[in-house]
Amino acid sequence: MIYYRLNHKHQNLFLLLASYFFYGSWDWRFTFLLLISTVVDFFVGRSLHVATEVNRRKMLLTISVCVNLGILGFFKYFNFFIDSAVGLLEFMNFESNRPVLNVILPVGISFYTFQTMSYTIDIYKKKMEPTRNMIDFALFVSFFPQLVAGPIERAKVLIPQVVRPRVVTKDDLITGLNLMAIGYFKKVAIADNMAPIVSNAFSSPGSLTSGELLTGLYAFSFQIYGDFSGYSDIARGVARLLGFELMINFNAPYLSRSITEFWRRWHISLSSWLRDYLYISLGGNRHGSLMTYRNLFLTMLLGGLWHGAAWTMVAWGAMHGIYLAVHKLLLGDKKLDVSWPNSFVGWLVNLVKIVITFHMVALTWIMFRASSFTSGMEYINGIFAFDDTFNIAGNVLFAALLIVIVDIAQTKTGNHTWIITKPRPVKYVLLQVLFISAVAAAIFQINTVVPFIYFQF
């Protein structure tokens, strides 16, 4: 109510204060990291714009990259590299004293670091001009709906929305609330209900049968999708209530027919960021097939490390890198066909491709969720032991059915807010079902806290 009654300048200031309050409510000390990245990139961006000498421009960009990745590297990877070094020394029979410094991982640091880096890189590439207003730029970096778990917005898309006056229409309110309803349904009614099954399966994989492990894997596949895409929907909905349009971060990824298509549908803001700022910088597909495969593998390997400072995340990224390289090898020079055939045989073939792709992705989720590399391998070995019939729990199958129905509806209509396009009685019934399901699930889980999975990144 306050926001709608302010003029544009005061709206931005109000949102900036709200964003810092939001982030500081977790731990106010880490707002200084957010401020450091903001101040450095604001002045680097302005200097880059007026600099003409190549060496000076490279130096300025290096400052931005080193500051941002230096902060990210210290807080996210210090413990990982120290523990890895100690483990290596112990493996080589050297005595070592483990440092007592335990570095806390600031929430959302991977997201806002990539977001603010896109600003200086795009100015360096002369794809945009810097903003002259520190308040506007600070709001771009810290915008609270997507600050801690994305989508990772590009500066050339979000900053113009910050700079120009915004008018919130009735359609914005309806669309925003619709996105939030879908998001809360995915998170609370689906993802959080999968959490106990997942925790049980991954806490002691050696004591479970193949069927129980497969149930746990399916449960996590739909938990992480409902959890993360649900957050993205909520973030987009909240932003829409404030007059902002955030990018679509998920587009029915489990309906993908290949691993390449999957990464065009899953965490789109990250996969497109890695493509534009890492894969292309490594050379992309410009230097022959072998270099293309190498670049795909390295991009996904670093993408896995972005997700978490653990060897399990490195393994997860490596698996996807191998998948993409092999698919590129099989695809050759042909473009990816994303059309859907009309014939029954073509439809059936594509359905088989969806099932295969889903299980390839699900296999990688084991390493993503496992507490250690050893535990992950134990989980994989347990699934392929085939010591039990694969009876999947009914609530997992029901969650899968709900996810598929929502995704098919979004894909068929090409609209993530397709519910509000339906006749009034149908629209109201569907929205009430989403709302009541989320509230009922929340009441049922009243004593259980299930944080958003991607808050740890």
Predicted local confidence at residue 96, as pLDDT = 64
Question: How far apart are the C-alpha atoms of 261 and 83, rounded to whole Å?
Answer: 36
Confidence band of 387 (pLDDT split at 50, 70, 90): confident
Give the pair of three-digit tokens for residue 387: 């010591």
Residues 31, 25: Cα–Cα separation, whole Å:
10
pLDDT of residue 397: 86
CA distance linking residue 188 with residue 448, whole number of Å: 11
pLDDT tens-digit map of 226-237: 999 999 999 999
307 carries an active-site annotation? yes
What confidence tens digit (pLDDT) does each residue in 74-111 have? 888 877 777 777 776 666 777 666 665 677 778 889 99
What average pLDDT score do residues 252-264 get?
94
Phi-psi region of 372 (alpha: psi -120 to 50; beta: other; left: phi over 0): beta
Query: In this predicted structure, what is the pLDDT of residue 346?
Result: 83
Helix (H) or strand (E) holding 296: helix 289-307
pLDDT for the residue numbered 410: 86
Model pLDDT, residue 101: 62
For residue range 131-179, what is the model confidence (pLDDT) as tens digits? 999 999 999 999 999 999 889 999 999 999 999 999 999 999 999 999 9
- Tens of pLDDT along 186-229? 999 999 999 999 999 999 898 888 888 999 999 999 999 999 99
Segments in 127-285 forming alpha helices (H) = 134-142, 155-163, 170-184, 192-203, 210-241, 259-265, 268-274, 280-282
CB 8 within 8 A of CB 165: yes
Sorted by sequence, the CB contacts under 8 Å of residue 401 that are 6+ apart come out as: none
Q: Residue 258: left (phi > 0), alpha (psi -120 to 50), or beta?
A: beta
Out of 267, 307, 320, 416, pick the active-site residue.
Answer: 307
Interatomic CA distance for residues 232 and 191, integer angstroms: 14
Domain boundaries, the chain: 3-163, 170-258+336-456
pLDDT at residue 121 is higher than 70: yes
Provide the pLDDT for residue 100: 58
Instruction: Please count the helices (runs of H) and the strands (runs of E) in the chain.
Output: 18, 0
CA 432-438-440 angle, 5° bins: 95
In this structure, what are the phi and psi dihedrals at residue 7, rounded to the nearest 5 degrees? -80, 175
CA 221 – CA 286 distance, rounded (Å): 35
pLDDT at 341 exceeding the cut of 80: no
Percent over 70 (pLDDT), the chain: 96
What pLDDT was estimated at residue 165? 94
How far is residue 367's CA from residue 380's CA, in Å, rounded to a whole number? 9
Contact yes or no for 118/127 (Cβ under 8 A): no
Top pLDDT among 68 and 447 is at 68
Question: What pLDDT band is residue 345 in, cutting at 50, 70 and 90?
Answer: confident
Residues 383, 210 contacting (CB under 8 angstroms): yes
Please provide the distance, in angstroms rounded to a whole number, between the alpha carbons at the two ends of the chain: 32
